[in-house]
Amino acid sequence: MTENAIILGIETSCDETSVSIIEDNPDGIPKILSNIISSQVEVHQEFGGVVPELAARSHVEKIDQIAKKAIVESGINLKNVSAIAATYGPGLIVCLSVGLSFAKAMAATLKVPFIGVNHLEGHALSPKLNSKLDYPYLLLLISGGHSQYLSVNNLGEYQRLGTTIDDALGEAFDKTAKMLDLGYPGGPSVEKASKLGDKNFFTLPEPIVNKAGCNLSFAGLKTAILRITKKIETDQEKFDLAASFQKTIEDILTIKTKVAFDEFKKLNSEKSGSFVIAGGVAANKGIRKKLIELSNKYNFNPIFPDLKLCGDNAAMIAMVGLEKFKNKQFDSLDLPASPRLPLDKNAKFLKGAGVVL
């Protein structure tokens, strides 16, 4: 029997049902014993986006089997689990409730602590499953619902430096894919199509890049794409538009990340440090390459989660659970699901923002 803490994590905030078991390694990086992820892509494909009722039903149908699979694959005995961690927000309330109830029931049955985890903190700490990473660090969180620059000062201590004032970056990829009829989910299909096109063929707007600060905006880009889509006739033009979109995103992130570097340094006695890029969009190879080059130029250390840990998964939830467990930050079984749960609770709500952050 191991002495190390073992955390069982559960993620059901959107369209992935996932259960993972990780084991602490006091001398290094925690070990992922299992991380079962069941995606609902086929369920939502025909609708071109996540349908909450269908997503919740699918979580209910699958959670038992996924949990069983994760336990068997990990090789652990359930009596050695130290705590159960589950996402309690942000996300779709009907989906969050499935994982949360399952986690609370497990914690009560096994008589171990229950730990509620902010899904965004899961993304923020996801690289700790493959890299050594100390606080504070700069984080660019780019997912289907969020696009933010944050200074991660400590566990649970976030300072937002910038955020999207309209669409999230993943949403921009998904909508572009839909307009170009490239398939769902959009991010990977736009990236694939962009490789076949000429990135300089279309000139697209770069909203608010010249404004001070590191807020982001993608809505204008979407409108421009819609306008061009109506005129294009060939597959090649489609690929050119996907390539031009990918290039424009890389340019916007390059400009705004430079500003975020300066803002992070201002907060940290002019010291640079680690720059974490996390969330589903962090799987984009073009974005990865650009941000690695930029980090090297400005003396930041770029850190990404493993490709398979960029999208939603329970290992990242267990990772936060492990840090909270070590700090004895446990939650009561009354903890409600919170569809809106910002990382920086003091950050102002931005007028005009499509996403409440």
Looking at the DSSP bridge assignments, the partners of residue 278 are: 141
Sites of contact with Zn ion (CB under 5 A): 143, 312
Which three-class secondary structure state does DSSP give residue 110? helix
Sites of contact with ligand KG4 (CB under 6 A): 14, 143-145, 170, 173-174, 185-188, 191, 279-281, 283-284, 311-312
Provide the minimum distance between the beta carbon of 144 and ligand KG4 in the complex, in angstroms, as a whole number.
3
Pairwise CA distance, residues 95 & 76, whole Å: 27
Burial bucket for residue 348 (CB in 10 Å: 0-12, 13-18, 19+)? exposed
Q: Which is nearer to Zn ion, 34 or 126 (CB)?
A: 126
Q: Which is nearer to Zn ion, 174 or 240 (CB)?
A: 174
Token pair in block for residue 25: 């390694």
Pairing of strands 137-142, 147-154: antiparallel
CB atoms within 10 A of CB 230: 8
With CB under 5 to 8 Å by kind, the binding choice for 162 among Zn ion, ligand KG4, none is none
Provide the minimum distance between the beta carbon of 309 and ligand KG4 in the complex, in angstroms, as a whole number.
10
Q: Which is nearer to ligand KG4, 76 or 172 (CB)?
A: 172
Q: Which is nearer to ligand KG4, 82 or 118 (CB)?
A: 118
Segment (H or E) for 62: helix 52-74
With CB under 5 to 8 Å by kind, the binding choice for 342 among ligand KG4, Zn ion, none is none
Task: Say if residues 150 and 124 touch (Cβ distance below 8 Å).
Answer: yes
With CB under 5 to 8 Å by kind, the binding choice for 145 among ligand KG4, Zn ion, none is ligand KG4
With CB under 5 to 8 Å by kind, the binding choice for 321 among Zn ion, ligand KG4, none is none
- DSSP code for 121: H
With CB under 5 to 8 Å by kind, the binding choice for 320 among Zn ion, ligand KG4, none is none
